[in-house]
A and B are shown apart, each in its own frame.
Chain A
Amino acid sequence: MSESLLTIKDLHVQYNTDEAVVHALNGINLTLKKGEALGLVGETGAGKTTMALSILQLLPAKVGEITKGNIHYDNTDILAADNHNMRKIRGAKIAMIFQDPMSSLNPILTVGDQIHEVLELHFPEMSREEKDQRVDDILGLVGIQKSRKNEYPHQFSGGMKQRIGIAMALVAEPELLLADEPTTALDVTIQAQILQLMQELQKKFNTSMIFITHDLGVVAEFCENVSVVYAGEIIETGSVEEVFARKRNHPYTVGLFNSIPDLTTEAKRLIPIPGFMTDPTNLPVGCKFVERCPNCMEKCKVQLPPMFGAGHKIKCFLYEDRGGNA
């Protein structure tokens, strides 16, 4: 179980637009073990989706550029892999579930054919009957009657479409699943159904998962470990128990917790994080959170803090003197 499946080291990604250079990822380090479910939390523009697209080599051509770092997946150097090899990995080894179930399906193919297509690409030797059987099985698993496989995406509701997205991602039994806000577009009761389904399937296939979301609640209930992303850096990482105990956190994580109205305790006022997201075209030299941080020190403005701690790590000078124990 402790074998690592995915390793990202010092990954830098930038988008070169006509007006400016957007520094989307600024030194991401991440290790994912087999069977692990990691939650990646952050706000709009933090770089969560860029990270997933980098792993799959799906960054927009010419605009998105990996300037530094490397990504290793199970002994394969992803950044060195050519198109031919990437195609073998995408969908078969690493699959992705996209945020918007309305726009990520092909409207002119029946859902059965779309799932079939994945098998045709990755299992050309499989017989037609066997493929049909796999399609029926996976539809059953995600809770869609197999009689509906000849229908088109527009005939399904949002929750059902997301189930189809999940079926497509899982039909080739990938080792790693990148779920990019898979339930954000859905209602809470449907979200609960989809999350439970994903949890069951993850256990059944022992799939590793990176779960991208802005919802701390979903992470708390669904993931083992969590990494918080701010301005293209992971600023805190640890087990859900450690991070959500709310004893020691990065000031940004504290701000996120304080911004959410709590269901169980009474608070008259929320404590929002002041100001706005750091401009990714013009990043500060030191800690990226300085402008909004209530605990900002002189040193934070000039020097980038390293990760402090072992296990539960926090990228903040507040935890410097604690040495190995954040």
Chain B
Amino acid sequence: MAAPLIETKNLKKYFKVNKGMLHAVDDVSLKINAGETLGVVGESGCGKSTLGRTIMRLLEATNGEILFEGKDILKYNKSQMLKMRSEMQMIFQDPFTSLNPRLSVGDIIAEPMKVLHTVKGQEAMRLRIKELMDMCGLPERYYNTYPHELDGGRRQRVGLARTLAVNPRFIVCDEPVSALDVSIQAQIINLLMDLQDQQGLAYMFITHDLCVVRHISNYIAVMYLGQVVEYASRDDLFEQQFHPYTMALLSAIPTPDLSRRNRERHLLRGEVGNPIDPGPGCRFASRCVYATEECQQPQELQEIRSGHFVRCMRAGNL
């Protein structure tokens, strides 16, 4: 297998809060190859957005490594990092707050190219913007409109055009379709997948929607309270889940499929635990129906099958 485009090794991001240290991202090691998508799923507060932002260095990592083509970008200084921005970009969840309301669509898309000096001359810039708008399915008449005149789906297309402006190879997509209606959501997902086919982009796709993640991903990492609890290829994960949390997550999804209507569900008890100074044991144990004494010991991510990792010492014996 070729070297991954981007890789994290034991990445940690802790926040200092009044009561102690909040373990938002704890020891996350993941790989993404060019042209592939890693889906990161988990519930609100599990650290998936923090992971995305830390990889982008919008947040400074507490510990660990982020390797882009084998080089640790955490060691880069400001000007080196600025150059890296043309390789890696991010799409944000909320198309209503992530676009500058005082810039027109054309200016929004132009901004990254101006900052990174990738396009020279006004005419070339205009052509490039039109090309990007066309690529993202935005008619040219929106060139001079402002974000408030557009609906959510079109705004997300503007965000995508801005992201693609500097020809990145890796894009962190932080819940890019969660704020959209289903019919519009499908348009954006198709667009993302087409762009990946054409340009060989690597995506880290952060979402809480398992149907979307199954559709778009090659690999999936399930997060719970800052840790990756299960990590496998898409097909392996959906064929068999080993971590009790993944099982619960999958059985909780409502689907419009009548054959699944009366399935047996693994309903969870209680609520997500506290990420501030968590104990050494399994963080899911308080909600887990299978929890025993030994779950109070530290749990390591173990390879239960080839390429299928799970952070549960009792996995496979449940």
Task: Answer whether residue A283 sits at the interface, using C-beta atoms and an 8 A cutoff.
Answer: no
* A215 surroundings in chain B (CB, below 8 A): 254
Q: Is B75 an interface residue (CB 8 A)?
A: no
* A contact residues, total (Cβ < 8 Å): 46
User: Residue A220 at the B interface, CB < 8 A?
Assistant: yes
| Residue A286 CB within 8 A of the other chain | no
Closest to A255 in B: B183
Which B residues between 211 and 230 are near A, CB-CB below 8 angstroms?
211-212, 214-216
Which residue, B189, B255, B258, B272, has most C-beta atoms of chain A within 10 A? Answer: B255
B268 within 8 A of A: yes
Distance in angstroms from B235 CB to nearest chain A CB is: 10
Task: Decide if A214 touches B258 in the complex (CB within 8 Å).
Answer: no
Residue contact A244 to B153, C-beta cutoff 8 Å: no
- In the complex, chain A residues 174-221 whose Cβ is within 8 Å of any chain B Cβ: 187-193, 195-196, 214-221
Please give the distance in Å from A188's CB to the nearest CB on chain B: 5
Per the bound structure, the CA–CA distance linking A310 and B186 in Å amounts to 32
Q: Which of B151, B253, B268 contacts A217 (CB 8 A)?
A: B253
Residues of B within 8 A of A44 (CB): 181
| B43 within 8 A of partner (CB) | yes
Q: How many residues of B contact A (CB 8 A)?
A: 40
B265 close to A43 (CB less than 8 A): no
Contact yes or no, B257 A43, CB < 8 A: no
A79 interfacial contact with B, CB 8 Å: no
A257 to B249, CA, bound (A): 22
Whether A245 contacts B183 in the complex (CB less than 8 A), given A188-B252, A192-B265, A260-B211, comes out as no
Instruction: Write the chain A residue with the least CB distance to B42.
Output: A187
A220-B254, A240-B258 are known contacts. Are A192 and B43 too (CB-CB below 8 A)? no
Question: Is A241 positioned at the interface, with any CB of B under 8 Å from its CB?
Answer: yes
Q: Is the CB of A272 within 8 A of B181?
A: no
A261-B252 in contact (CB<8A): no
Contact of A258 among B186, B214, B265 (CB under 8 A): B186
Contact indicator A188/B211 (Cβ below 8 Å): no
Is A187 touching B255 in the complex (CB atoms < 8 A)?
A: no
Known contacts A160-B271, A188-B43; A263/B248 CB under 8 A: no
Contact in complex: B256, A217 (CB < 8 Å): yes
In the complex, given contacts A244-B257, A261-B212, what are 7 additional A-B residue pairs having Cβ atoms less than 8 angstroms apart?
Answer: A187-B44, A260-B182, A260-B186, A261-B216, A269-B190, A270-B189, A276-B151
